[in-house]
Amino acid sequence: MKGCSALGLALMLVMVAAVSVVGLGMWRGADVGQQTTIQAAARVVTPTLMPINTPPPATLVPTETPTVVPTDTPMPTATPLPRYAPAQPAALLTGVNHAWQTWNNCGPATLAMNLSYYGSPLDQAAIGAVLRPFPDDKNVSPYELVKFAQDQGYRAMELVNGNDDLLRTLVSNGVPVLLETWHEPEPNGGLGHYRLLVGYDDAAQQWTLYDSYDSAGLVSTENYAGIRMNYAQLAAWWKVFNRAFVLVYPPEQEATVAAMLTDFGVTPGRMWTDAEVRARAELALDASDPFAWFNLGSSLTRQERTADAALAFDRARAIGLPWRMFWYQFDSFEAYLAEGRAQDVLALTDEVIRVTDSIEEIYYWRARALLAVGDADGARTAVQRALALAPGYAPALELSN
C-alpha cells in the first residue's frame, strides 16, 4: 500500500507541471506578437499505469484432519501366582498317623501313613490284605503301592533319580515323599525298607522320617514325631535303589507337583537318561562302587540298551552286592534274558529261593528263563508259585495264558 501512494503523487506533480508550461507559453506569445512561433505544443505524457502483479489471494485447501488410530490400551494383568513355594531352610509336615509295622509289612504300613496325611482311614492291615495276601511275602514293589493309591482316587507315580533339592521343595509344598531305601541294622544284614519323608532341617543337616521299623534317632520317646537321620546316611541308603521314590497326592495338587518335577528334571521322560549320567559321573570318581554300576545297569535296561546294561550288572556283581539285593530289584534279569543269558537268571533266582520262596517276582523271572531254555513244565510250575503268592500279579497272569 505504501508503494501505491508514492506513485500516485508523482503523477499528479507531472500533470501540474505540464499545465503550467503550456500556460506560460501562451502568455509569452501574446506578449511578443508573431516573433516567436510555438513549434510544438508541449506533450503531456500521461504515464500508463502498468498493472501490479498482486498475488492472488491464497486458496485455502482443506487439510485432512489426522485420523486418531486407537491403540490397544494395555489391560492391567494380574501378577501370576508362583506355581509352588521355594524350599525353606526347614520344614515339617504334621498330621501323619504313625504305625509300627507287622511282619514284613513296611510297604503297606508306610503307604497307610502316607495316605493318613490326606485323611485316609485305611491302616496297614487293610492295605496289606490287598498287597500281601501271602503273609510271608518279602517284597512289595513300588508299582504295587502306586496302583493301590490310584485305586483309592489319588494321583500316584513311581520315579527314580530323585535329589535332595526336589525332596526339600516337595515337603515345603505339603507333599510327603515315600522313599525306597536300604536299611542295615548290622553289617551284612541289610534289607530293603520304605520310609516316609516328612521334614528336614538344613542347619542340622537332618531329615525327619516316619519309619515303621527303625527307632534310631527318635524325635520323642513319648509321642511319636518321627526319627532324624543325617543327610549323608539317607543319601547312602537311598542310592542303593537308584534314588527311587513314590509320590501320592490328591488330584488338586497335580499341577503343582508336575511343575516341581519338571523344574527339577525328574520326570518319566528323562529320569532314566539322567540316572545314567549320574551313575557314570559317580563311577568316574570311584570305579569300584557296586551300587553305581548296578544303577547304571538299571538305567540302561530301561532305555533298552541291554548289552551295555548286562556288562554293568556283571561289574556290580564282581565287586560285590548285598545278598538280599535281588529280592527287590529285577532289571538285571531282564537285561540278561534280552542278551540270551537265561542261565544267569536261573543261577540268581536259585540263590534267592534257597533263602526264601515267598517273592512272586523271583518265580516270574525264573519262569521266563525256563521258557528261554525250553523247559515249559518248569516254567509252568514257577508261574503257579508266583500266582499262589500273589493271585493278582499281572505279569504272571499274562505268562500263564
CATH number, domain with residue 139? 3.90.70.10
The pLDDT score that the predictor gives to residue 80 is 61
The answer to whether residue 147 sits within a structural domain is yes
Count of the separate structural domains present in the chain: 1
**Torsions phi, psi for 24 (to 5 deg):** -65, -40
Distance of alpha carbon 96 from alpha carbon 93, whole angstroms: 8
**What is the span of the domain harbouring residue 192?**
86-265
| Residue of 359, 378, 366, 312 whose CA lies nearest to 342 | 366
Q: Determine what percent of the chain falls in helix, strand and coil, rounding each to the nearest 5.
A: 45, 10, 45
25 CB-near residues (< 8 Å, 6+ apart): 38, 42
Residue 62 lies in a domain: no
| Calpha distance 81→259 (Å, rounded) | 13
Instruction: Examine residue 90 and state whether it is found in any structural domain, yes or no.
Output: yes
> Residue 400 belongs to what H/E stretch?
helix 394-400
pLDDT profile of the chain (401 residues), mean per 10? 39 34 33 34 34 41 48 60 90 98 96 98 97 91 97 98 98 98 93 98 98 95 95 98 98 97 95 98 98 98 98 98 97 98 98 96 98 98 96 94 85
Which value, in Å, is the radius of gyration of the alpha carbons in the chain? 51
Q: Which residues of 107-138 are buried (b: 16+ CB within 10 A; e: fewer)?
A: bbbbbbbbbbbbebeebbeebbeebbeeeebb
pLDDT at residue number 40: 32
In this structure, is residue 128 part of a structural domain? yes
31 falls within a domain: no
In a 3-state reduction of DSSP, which class is residue 280? helix
